[in-house]
Structure 1
Amino acid sequence: MIEQLPLERLALWVEKRPNAVWLSQPVNGQWHDVTWAQVDDQARRMAAALHALGCSPGDRVALLSKNCAEWVIADLAIMLAGLISVPLYPLQSAESINYVLHHSQCKVIFLGKLDEPAKLEPGITPELIRIAMPYPTIKAEHGWHALLAAHAPLLDAHVQSADALLSILYTSGTTGQPKGVMLSAKAFAYAGSQSVKELQITEQDQYFSYLPLSHAAERFLVEMNALYSGGRIAFVESLETFASDLRHVRPTVFFSVPRLWTRFQQGVLEKLPQAKLARLLRIPMIGSLVAGKIRKGLGLDRARILVSGAAAIPPALLEWYQSIGMTVCEGYGMTEHMAYGCFNRPGQVRFGTVGRPMPGNELRIADSGEILLHCPSLMLGYYLDPEKTAETITDGWLHTGDKGEVDAAGFLKITGRVKDIFKTSKGKYIAPAPIEGEIAKNLLVEQVCLMGSNLAQPLALIELSPAARQQAREHVAAELLHTLQQLNARLEAHERLSHFIVVREAWTVDNGCMTPTMKIRRNVLEGLFLDQLAALDAKQPLHWQ
């Protein structure tokens, strides 16, 4: 049951708590608070500005910025004006931005905080109307504060309907061009309202927003959950201030991705090596003091809901956090259903799984092993792509493309991607995810990618952690070879790895090896390393690129 659509929920808080702070934005180290009434006023002024700039109901408006208070206000302004938002990843390439803007037929673009605006500007076509948020960004003919000052708040705001299109979210595209996922007001409302109720999130809760709001997970878990709970959102100012901003905010709800959970762990272990930490944690009283100091140092001492999503997280990493009193709840969702899928609720956590379906969701496993979901937050379809829509949704069931299994208690375990499974030259099929998970238990490993299509035996590409790159090669080599030996002893003969290849260059969004949501592009990595496989020495299982 949907109680209120997003704009109705905004109106509730404006009436109930107009002077309560909702958004907190750091600028040059100073925190600026924005109340519910101020958010509503600015959003209505910007909505009026959009109408004055020639936008008509149904027109698409793009958002290109890192997370900030203005991003959320612009999003609400687009809704109030009856327009459709098209968020862009601030780490997208200019070519990808250009594709999305053309494909979605955007009329206006909001431009905000960007690390390298000059690199992205070629992707923005000249005919687009540009509005610049109050940060260094791409050149625009209209400024945020000037538009707010020039327009009175829009009184006759758009009235949302449940099934109407609210936003087009483009998938990050591990293969091929991104697809435009059409999400309704109902999808936003259902995901936000139900998760707030299920997790008992209230107006006392505090969020910390830094993962791209252009991604369904952050938009649902932070923007919508805050809108439906009344909780506050604080934003990070920059990568350089991330740690201090996090300690300042001390969120009660915190969402991150596996790569960053790994980085947080590495930062702790650089100051307090694992062997010493383990010894201290075993000592009564001292152990709890040490764990508490670590949590406070991270800025997560108040956090009661810790979430990991977007990619698989090694159970060993979850256990490490558990040892310092932090239960990280892994979840699973896709853009195609507003990321409202399965979740390990606090107090109901089973490591190695992504939890049980959230309220209202139905889950079943197809005969092929594929995970199918039937959910009220399901997309309306892919924009301008009815064929792909028909392939993905059958009789109301979403074909996720992921393989999984459900245990007796209803917890879902992801076993890999349907398309990731490859066949060796011996005709044997291998699912890479479980093997990658075992390799990732080694703390020296930042990321791992298994490949082996048409090879006699699979092999693993390994990106070392920053800490491992500082250590002696002999020590790292010994540890990796030990991991390889122990792993191969447990694998079936056809699964045993012939080599570990330690890559020279880190996998990033810029070099095309990662999607903007930090997923590995397996096909890209395979293409990069395919030509090098012939030169591998069969007698040397560890190869340094």
Structure 2
Amino acid sequence: MREFSLPARYTVPTDGGLPDLLVANAARHPRTAVISRREPDGWRDLTATEFLAEVRAVAKGLLRSGVRPGDRVGLLAATRYEWTLVDFAVWTVGAVTVPVYESSSPEQIAWNLGDSGAVAVIVETPEQLAAVESLRDRLPELTRRWCLEPVSGPGAVELLTATGASVSDERLAAATATVTPDSPATLVYTSGTTGRPRGCVLSHRAFLTTCGNVVAALGPLFRTGESSVLLFLPLAHVFARMVQVAALLGPIRLGLAPGVAQLTDDLASFRPTIVLGVPRVFEKVYNSARAKAVQGGRGALFDRAAETAVAHSRARDTPGGPGIGLRLRHRVFDRLVYRRLRAVLGGRATHAISGGAPLGERLGHFYRGIGFTVLEGYGLTESCAPTSFNPWDAPRIGSVGRPLPGTAIRIAEDGEILLRGEHLFSGYWNDPEATDEVLRDGWFHTGDLGRLDADGYLTVTGRAKEILVTAGGKNVAPAVLEDRIRAHPLVAECMVVGEGRPFVGALLTVDDDFLPRWAEEAGLGGLPRAALLDHPALATALDEAVRHANEVVSRAESVRAFRVLPGHFTEESGHLTPSLKLRRHVVAKDFAREIDALYGS
């Protein structure tokens, strides 16, 4: 059993919570731009004083509308300025934010808002508002609903600001005073192994501990008045949420953009010094650059430059460092290739923070080799995002870094990663049994497997849990999809795949008892089994099963491709346990070629 910890570099105040960050910023940096909103004609910066005033105005509207300390308030929107504005306004009245992914199905919306007991919700679009309205009978406590972008009339921010105009500063201060470090700040719903999301209760202390120590450890990247970060990941995800708070704790300039559709333009116009992303973003940048080079007849040049970047980065980790020949080639390719790649990333950024899924060692060396170091970290919703991350000045590519200062990581005898620290969640909302299952003997049992080296760098070696994490960082519970796909009479077994992949796929086996009947009804009764398995009509029928399953999940969790296997998962083949549960690792190994084929490799 190996354990490693680092001393804390940030101390959580004895009282108050996240709203105090904005008050401190307005006092220390009143005219410094701390947040930017993307508008049609460019970025509009707000100073610390201006942002605090807007937050208080919305908070007064929430208070006047009946939202009280401890109430849960849903927030369903893409990443945008108003998301952060509302989040801090909810905290300012002592309430608890319940984020909902903008891509969520009505069933997911109903669960998050219903299970949390949300009394109010703010959505982005009229379509989202209609989805919430359709659930009114299932959400009796949800009595207040606002829309940021209604078809006509004022939006949520304008309405709440006008509503709260009569609320006194003293009344708002009394509500804010109810917040303590251990007050719940948010319920972030994360998929459980059964597929039913569970609300992780994250306190103000958890965010302050995490973000305060991240900022302290990455100090040179958080220079007030100089540094900036562009946030385009969904704020419903705890990783993006942590970065939101860390930027305002710094404070550094925080830009908010609604996704990756205009990412290249946003990076060029905002020009961040830090880029936040998940592996899929960095993979896309690399693949797009290479495709563009090939199209322009420079593919061979790009490949040689990429190999040189990887070799140069690897050599930096050796005692002798890069040799003179490698240094010369690297210098040439910097003028020809690397500078252009850095320009795509905004031109100012030297570091990126990546989480949610493994980046891959080769890609990590490639980016460091072009002068853009990607710092990988590891964490979970239950640990308020990063529980480890690579030091800005001493990264070890392939690892997920060292423990967050003030926390400890232990590797149990069976290889499981255990965590301890003030950054951990308080428990699962209304689920003490699930809480007790993972919080034992003062440690959080992650269900992930890993190892620590002598210097405290953690390497994640596998996932003991069944939750998949795609290359985009999306957590996917296979069971909820598999159960619905198996409900189709043609399907015998199903295994959802997608760990570290760009999208979710599935392996299917066909029910031999139902297949002949289906063939007769489809006018294919004379065909042998092998021909039926390859027939387009069968693929169409199975596609219906997949579409049925996708109805209850978001697009990021949906099955995009499937493959029909010729045989079956059985106990005899080693693919099922005696209790008929899938041996996922065995299936993944035996059908690795079929899984690769789903992704075109």
Shorter-normalised TM range: 0.7 to 0.9
| Range moving further from structure 2, 162-171 or 123-132 | 123-132
Question: How far apart are 1:150 and its partner, in Å?
Answer: 3.9
Matched, 1:148 2:156: no
Question: How far apart are 1:173 and its partner, in Å?
Answer: 4.7
Q: Deviations over 1:459-493 (max 9, x none)?
A: 98899989xxxxxxxxxxxxxxxxxxxxxxxxxxx
Seen in structure 2, the aligned counterparts of structure 1 residues 246 and 99 have a Cα distance that, compared at 3 Å, is: same
For residue 585 of structure 2, what is the aligned residue in structure 1?
A: none
Matched residue SS, 1:91: coil
1:389 and 1:216 map into 2 onto residues whose CA distance is 19
Seen in structure 2, the aligned counterparts of structure 1 residues 59 and 18 have a Cα distance that, compared at 3 Å, is: same
2:283 alignment partner, one of 258, 262, 266: 262
1:288 alignment partner, one of 330, 334, 340: 334
For residue 250 of structure 2, what is the aligned residue in structure 1?
A: 229
Residues 520-539 of structure 1 correspond to what in structure 2 (within 5 A)?
Answer: 529=563, 533=567
Determine if contact 1:60/1:85 at 8 Å carries over to the other structure.
yes
2:147 alignment partner, one of 132, 145, 155: 132
Question: How far apart are 1:238 and its partner, in Å?
Answer: 5.7
For residue 275 of structure 1, what is the aligned residue in structure 2?
A: 300
2:126 and 2:268 map into 1 onto residues whose CA distance is 23
For residue 18 of structure 1, what is the aligned residue in structure 2?
A: 30
1:50 and 1:236 map into 2 onto residues whose CA distance is 25
Question: How far apart are 1:395 and its partner, in Å?
Answer: 2.1
Aligned residues: 471
Q: C-alpha root-mean-square deviation of aligned residues, in Å?
A: 4.0
For residue 242 of structure 1, what is the aligned residue in structure 2?
A: 263
Question: How far apart are 1:72 and its partner, in Å?
Answer: 0.9
2:90 and 2:547 map into 1 onto residues whose CA distance is 28
Matched residue SS, 1:272: helix
1:464 and 1:379 map into 2 onto residues whose CA distance is 28
Residues 89-108 of structure 1 correspond to what in structure 2 (within 5 A)?
Answer: 89-108=101-120
Question: How far apart are 1:530 and its partner, in Å?
Answer: 6.7
For structure 2, list consecutive stretches of 5 or more residues without a partner in the other structure. Answer: 1-9, 309-328, 472-477, 483-494, 504-538, 570-589
Question: How far apart are 1:136 and its partner, in Å?
Answer: 5.5
Seen in structure 2, the aligned counterparts of structure 1 residues 510 and 115 have a Cα distance that, compared at 3 Å, is: farther
Residues 70-469 of structure 1 correspond to what in structure 2 (within 5 A)?
Answer: 70-112=82-124, 122-123=134-135, 125=139, 127-133=142-148, 135=149, 143-152=156-165, 155-156=169-170, 157=173, 158-159=176-177, 160-173=179-192, 175-200=194-219, 201-203=222-224, 204-220=226-242, 222-237=243-258, 239-273=260-294, 275-280=300-305, 283=329, 285-420=331-466
Identity %: 29
Residues 487-506 of structure 1 correspond to what in structure 2 (within 5 A)?
Answer: none
Seen in structure 2, the aligned counterparts of structure 1 residues 242 and 515 have a Cα distance that, compared at 3 Å, is: farther
2:19 and 2:547 map into 1 onto residues whose CA distance is 34
Seen in structure 2, the aligned counterparts of structure 1 residues 190 and 177 have a Cα distance that, compared at 3 Å, is: same
Q: Deviations over 1:380-415 (max 9, x none)?
A: 111100000000101220000101111222211111
Give the partner amino acid of 1:412. L
Give the partner amino acid of 1:213. L
1:380 and 1:169 map into 2 onto residues whose CA distance is 12
1:540 and 1:9 map into 2 onto residues whose CA distance is 49
2:425 and 2:153 map into 1 onto residues whose CA distance is 33
Matched residue SS, 2:333: helix
1:239 and 1:509 map into 2 onto residues whose CA distance is 25
Q: Deviations over 1:414-457 (max 9, x none)?
A: 11111359xxxxxxxxxx99xx99xxxxxxxxxxx9x9xxxxxx
Matched residue SS, 1:341: strand
Provide TM-score, normalisation by structure 1: 0.76
Q: Deviations over 1:40-69 (max 9, x none)?
A: 112111111111111221111111111111
For structure 1, list consecutive stretches of 5 or more residues without a partner in the other structure. Answer: 422-431, 438-448, 452-457, 467-502
2:240 and 2:403 map into 1 onto residues whose CA distance is 19
Determine if contact 2:37/2:255 at 8 Å carries over to the other structure.
yes
| Range moving further from structure 2, 317-326 or 371-380 | 317-326
Structure number with greater CO (CA < 8 Å, separation at least 6) is: 2
Q: Deviations over 1:341-400 (max 9, x none)?
A: 011112221122111111011111111211000011111111100000000101220000
For residue 60 of structure 2, what is the aligned residue in structure 1?
A: 48
Give the partner amino acid of 1:71. W
Seen in structure 2, the aligned counterparts of structure 1 residues 516 and 465 have a Cα distance that, compared at 3 Å, is: closer
